[in-house]
Amino acid sequence: MRTSQYLLSTQKETPADAEVVSHQLMLRAGMVRKLASGLYTWLPSGLRVLNKVADIVRQEMNKAGAIEMLMPVVQPADLWQESGRWDEYGPELLRVKDRHNRDFVLGPTHEEVITSLVKNEISSYKQLPINLYQIQTKFRDEVRPRFGIMRGREFTMKDAYSFHTSDESLQQTYQGMFQAYCNIFERLGLEFRPVIADSGSIGGAVSHEFHVLAESGEDAIAFSDSSDYAANVEMAEAIAPVTEQVPAMSVKTQVATPDVKTIQQVCSHFNITADKTVKTIVVLGAENEKGQQDLVALVLRGDHSLNNIKAEKLAEVYAPLTMATDAQILEKINCEVGSIGPIGLPIPIIVDRSAAHLTDFVCGANETGSHLTGVNWDKDIADYQIADIRNIEAGDPSPDGQGTIEIKRGIEVGHIFQLGEKYSSAMGCGVLNEQGKHQILTMGCYGIGVSRIVAAAIEQNHDKYGIIWPDAIAPFKVALIPMNMHKSHRIQQVAESLYEQLVSAGIEVLFDDRKERPGVMFNDMELIGIPHTIVIGERNLDENKVEYKNRRSGEKQLVEIDNVLSLVADC
RNA sequence: CGGUGAGUAGCGCAGCUUGGUAGCGCACUUGGUUUGGGUCCAAGGGGUCGCAGGUUCGAAUCCUGUCUCACCGACCA
């Protein structure tokens, strides 16, 4: 490809609304342009990268025995009503009507369509297991699209769905996908980690996320420093402290604490650290048979934070997690927020494992402007239960018993689930089994954010000059930069000849044949992130040499013209 | 959904307080100059100042409404 005949669209200045590096560089390098919030046009060089990522995904999926197909973006509402997600899915599901006033949705995912297809097409256990996938545009009307391609509303996703007559078969395919995902991210040249995840609203039991590690990641991941353990902090189990419980020494004492409301204030008032205090959070309880809601108290150590997802899963707690209002608290407990504590509460009390490990701690007295010191479980509070309701933190013991937890940030680029029968039973998707009986199928589902991978790769691979593509997904492998070609026939000849050689060797080369100054060309090629550069200049031509430069290492070397092709081909 | 801020040329911005019909840098066009890391000089083209309404002799500027976009928040006892 010649730059003079290409749409480079590079820019010097960063558009003001680009926040993260990948977004800035994708705009500057001319990969994408924004059309509206969360909607982007892929320009030629961006599309090249996107297609490369998709190709690698496709190859590895095929290798793992999955079969490619393609489903519509627009889906009829009745499928979604059948699965129940028409009501479950919130405003993130974009609903549209056609000219006959029939309801449709823009597919944020394709469980309904595939399940309905398999229900009709597959009728015998002999046809199973089967794993079908597509690489398709998805639409999710995100609350807050941001970070450019990273969290757009329209995006490219690879989604695969497997169908089985037994859990063993599902396990097997799930393992196969787990391995295929590792292969994919390996080939893409990204630093990644599979982590244990929450299965979220899609449902199902077992689930892993694949994260590309990057500072700007939206998810926090808990790692063990001495084992393979890795889990999303949403999920990571916070185990009870492994240290011996300190024997209780004190007797509870009520202390007047006007204007002491936060844990910070409690600490400075009593001159203690937050891990000697307890905070009591009041949330709405689950509805009883009559549909009435009581309140529930969640007790955490002062320095810990509540994990909403864990709390929501408790039978006693209303989901989604909802904080009680000040008025509700005043009515039920007769005390202001800021002085609540577990002693004498008229509502169920759930205590985090770490908080339950404390002795002689400080907490609110359930009397406005008053706290208690020297409080101890069992002695002072009889009726409570213990659960894991906090976020794991750096320095905590790893839940697998090996090592200590470290927290890093990651970008979720893949997610695999064992779905079970959620969709197949709702939609009656089954086959006749060996006994000739109708059997509902069990499902797995496996997603990869193809477009997000492009952004994630940049987050992980860039410097102050621009993008540094891993070879596997670079838009071009080689940049050919002639110096002042318009003034030198010799340079033009060598450049044209090298270009031709590279092209016929099947190497993707971007030949910068613009009448530009060298600095402009260098800067553009570095911004775009082409891994290998060949510079042709008068100086070196006298010795029949050209310069090779590696984008990542910055290493330069002079190479005989005749050796350039093999050097680049071997990279 | 809540909070904050912003919409002026393709991009980055000034002008608005104190109303008088729009400017700078980059990019673009032409000519010259320069040529191993974003040359320099000159001459050009390009904007219904987000949209609608109002005040006024006169509105980018003041008022009202509306749309769009961005950032922050949705962890607090």
The CATH number linked to A375 is 3.90.960.10
Flag residues 342-381 of A with CB < 7 Å from strand B: 364
Specify the higher pLDDT residue, A236 or A546: A546
Same domain? A221 vs A263: no
Q: What integer pLDDT is reported at residue A335 of this predicted model?
A: 84
State the Cα–Cα distance between residues A433 and A438, nearest whole angstrom: 6
- Nucleic strand B under 7 Å from the C-beta of A30: no
Nearest nucleotide, CA A487 to C1': B35
Q: What integer pLDDT is reported at residue A234 of this predicted model?
A: 81
Query: Does A198 have pLDDT greater than 80?
Result: no
Nearest nucleotide, CA A28 to C1': B11
SS (H, E, C) A92-145: CCCEEECCCCCEEEECCCCHHHHHHHHHHHCCEHHHCCEEEEEEEEEECCCCCC
Q: A239, exposed or middle or buried, with CB in 10 Å at 0-12, 13-18, 19+?
A: middle
Rounded to whole angstroms, the distance from the CA of residue A410 to the C1' of nucleotide B53 is 50
Same domain? A174 vs A278: no
State the Cα–Cα distance between residues A571 and A569, nearest whole angstrom: 6
- Nucleic strand B under 7 Å from the C-beta of A2: no
Measured to protein CB atoms, the chain B nucleotides within 7 Å are 1-2, 11-13, 25-27, 34-39, 68-77
Domain contains A469 = no
Rounded to whole angstroms, the distance from the CA of residue A123 to the C1' of nucleotide B1 is 46
Query: Does A424 have pLDDT greater than 60?
Result: yes
Flag residues 541-560 of A with CB < 7 Å from strand B: 547, 549, 556
Same domain? A217 vs A288: no
Could you tell me the pLDDT band of residue A202, with boundaries at 50, 70 and 90?
very low
Could you tell me the pLDDT band of residue A205, with boundaries at 50, 70 and 90?
low
Same domain? A160 vs A25: yes
Q: What integer pLDDT is reported at residue A201 of this predicted model?
A: 47
Flag residues 463-502 of A with CB < 7 Å from strand B: 465, 483-484, 486-487
Same domain? A373 vs A228: no
Same domain? A91 vs A154: yes
Same domain? A505 vs A536: yes
Task: Output the domain CATH number for residue A113.
Answer: 3.30.930.10
Flag residues 297-316 of A with CB < 7 Å from strand B: 302, 305-308
Query: Does A478 have pLDDT greater than 60?
Result: yes
Rounded to whole angstroms, the distance from the CA of residue A1 to the C1' of nucleotide B36 is 23
Query: Does A312 have pLDDT greater than 90?
Result: no
Nearest nucleotide, CA A484 to C1': B35
Look at A23-37, A131-145, A262-276, A514-528 and tell me which has the smallest mean pLDDT. Answer: A262-276
Query: Does A84 have pLDDT greater than 60?
Result: yes
Same domain? A371 vs A483: no
- Nucleic strand B under 7 Å from the C-beta of A459: no
Rounded to whole angstroms, the distance from the CA of residue A455 to the C1' of nucleotide B10 is 24
Q: What integer pLDDT is reported at residue A301 of this predicted model?
A: 92
Q: What integer pLDDT is reported at residue A227 of this predicted model?
A: 87
Same domain? A225 vs A275: no
Rounded to whole angstroms, the distance from the CA of residue A92 to the C1' of nucleotide B3 is 22
Domain contains A247 = no
Same domain? A352 vs A420: no
**Domain total in chain A:** 3
Domain contains A467 = no
Rounded to whole angstroms, the distance from the CA of residue A16 to the C1' of nucleotide B15 is 20
Specify the higher pLDDT residue, A331 or A199: A331
Query: Does A200 have pLDDT greater than 90?
Result: no
Provide the percentage of residues in chain A whose pLDDT is more than 70: 98
Domain contains A400 = no
- Nucleic strand B under 7 Å from the C-beta of A332: no
Domain termination site, one of A387, A416, A449: A387
Task: Output the domain CATH number for residue A557.
Answer: 3.40.50.800
Could you tell me the pLDDT band of residue A131, with boundaries at 50, 70 and 90?
very high
Rounded to whole angstroms, the distance from the CA of residue A305 to the C1' of nucleotide B75 is 6
Query: Does A524 have pLDDT greater than 50?
Result: yes
Query: Does A165 have pLDDT greater than 90?
Result: yes
Quick: pLDDT tens for A61-76: 999 999 999 999 999 9
Could you tell me the pLDDT band of residue A199, with boundaries at 50, 70 and 90?
low
- Nucleic strand B under 7 Å from the C-beta of A394: no
Provide the percentage of residues in chain A whose pLDDT is more than 90: 61
Q: Can you read off the two tokens belonging to residue A95?
A: 């609903």
**Which residue spans within A5-66 are E strands per DSSP?**
32-36, 39-42
Q: Can you read off the two tokens belonging to residue A58?
A: 């496709």
Domain contains A258 = yes
Q: Can you read off the two tokens belonging to residue A402?
A: 């090996």
Domain contains A242 = no
Domain contains A515 = yes
Q: What integer pLDDT is reported at residue A268 of this predicted model?
A: 86
Q: Which residues pair with A158 in a beta bridge?
A: A135, A448
What average pLDDT does chain A have? 91
Query: Does A451 have pLDDT greater than 60?
Result: yes
* Residue A438: alpha-carbon gap to chain centroid: 38
**Contact (Cβ atoms closer than 8 angstroms) between residue A410 and residue A211:** yes
Q: Can you read off the two tokens belonging to residue A429?
A: 């998707």
Q: Can you tell me the mean pLDDT for A439-454? A: 96
Same domain? A183 vs A285: no
Domain contains A542 = yes
Query: Does A206 have pLDDT greater than 90?
Result: no
Residue range(s) defining the domain that contains residue A85: 3-237+407-459
- Nucleic strand B under 7 Å from the C-beta of A529: no
Same domain? A147 vs A288: no
Q: What integer pLDDT is reported at residue A203 of this predicted model?
A: 47
Rounded to whole angstroms, the distance from the CA of residue A360 to the C1' of nucleotide B36 is 73
